[in-house]
């Protein structure tokens, strides 16, 4: 009987070390929780957001609305970026986009859920920034759309997939190259009814905010009363 128990214990120990080896932190190679890809220490070391302006997400020493937003507010009412765009996020993003690894979208969405906007009023609808046909063909997927669908499922908030659309190449030809660069022409209204709705745009990386600005204008033109943005990461300008 004793022999059987020690065999069982040995079997259990072997199983446990086998599973521990399976779940190793991909940054430091320490063991981590089953189903996870980061150990607790590396997770805590991720570049969580510093104090920012709640409207434009630019760094702010007080965490209050910045002077620029007070003087000339953007079309979106608030924005939140779950992380700052530093290591390891920039490397993961490269793997996702250049390595065409759609599985990273689920990882990014689960990380966004650990660092989410605090609000008493959740949005009614989520929307994503549509990708151009060329980009879709190149990459095979639209990361903004993938994140949006993962978050929609987790938060049980519906997506309005047709609220924004990409203008076709022929439509864009009406504008000069300079005009296209300046005003980020390429997005257009989906002409759906968003009257009175609180709409949240989901996107991967916020850089200048110009795409979100254009998207927010188009959503408000369809009746949205509040438009916010939730992005995976924000690039931080060198000062």
Binding stretches for Zn ion (CB under 5 A): 25, 27-28, 30, 39, 42, 53, 55-56, 66, 69
Residue number with CB closer to Zn ion (194 or 205): 205
Question: Are 147 and 112 within 8 A, CB to CB?
Answer: yes
State how far the Cα of 191 lies from the Cα of 206, in Å rounded to an integer. 25
Pick the closer one to Zn ion by CB: 64 or 153: 64
Which of these, 78, 82, 83, lies nearest to 55 by C-alpha position? 78
Shortest Å, Cβ 39 to Zn ion: 4
Minimum CB distance to Zn ion smaller for 69 or for 155: 69
Work out the angle between the directed axes of helices 103-114 and 143-155 (0-180°, nearest 10): 50
CB 102 → Zn ion: shortest distance, Å? Answer: 24
Residue 101 CB, nearest approach to Zn ion (Å) = 20
- Whole-number minimum distance, CB 107 to Zn ion, in Å? 15
Q: Which is nearer to Zn ion, 30 or 171 (CB)?
A: 30
CB of 234 to Zn ion, least distance (A): 12
Q: Which is nearer to Zn ion, 28 or 102 (CB)?
A: 28
- Cα torsion 48, 152, 76, 91: sign: positive
* CA-to-CA separations, 61 to 7, 55, 152, in angstroms, rounded: 61, 14, 32
Burial of 228 (0-12, 13-18, 19+ CB in 10 A): buried
Element (H, E) at 214: helix 210-221
């Amino acid at each position: 009987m004793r022999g059987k128990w020690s065999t069982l214990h040995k079997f259990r120990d072997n199983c446990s070390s086998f599973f521990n080896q399976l779940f190793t932190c991909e940054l430091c190679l320490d063991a981590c929780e089953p189903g996870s890809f980061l150990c607790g220490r590396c997770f805590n070391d991720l570049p969580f957001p510093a104090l920012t302006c709640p409207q434009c997400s630019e760094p702010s020493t007080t965490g209050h609305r910045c002077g620029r937003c007070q003087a000339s507010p953007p079309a979106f009412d608030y924005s939140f970026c779950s992380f700052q765009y530093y290591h390891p996020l920039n490397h993961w993003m490269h793997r996702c986009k250049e390595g065409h690894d759609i599985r990273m979208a689920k990882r990014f969405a689960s990380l966004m859920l650990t660092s989410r906007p605090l609000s008493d009023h959740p949005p009614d609808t989520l929307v994503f920034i549509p990708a151009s046909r060329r980009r879709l063909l190149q990459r095979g997927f639209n990361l903004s759309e993938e994140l949006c669908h993962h978050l929609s499922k987790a938060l049980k908030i519906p997506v309005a997939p047709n609220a924004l659309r990409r203008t076709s190449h022929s439509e864009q030809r009406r504008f000069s190259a300079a005009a296209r660069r300046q005003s980020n022409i390429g997005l257009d209204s989906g002409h759906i009814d968003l009257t009175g709705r609180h709409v949240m745009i989901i996107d991967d990386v916020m850089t200048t905010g110009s795409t979100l600005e254009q998207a927010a204008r188009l959503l408000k033109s369809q009746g949205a009363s509040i438009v916010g943005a939730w992005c995976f990461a924000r690039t931080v300008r060198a000062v």
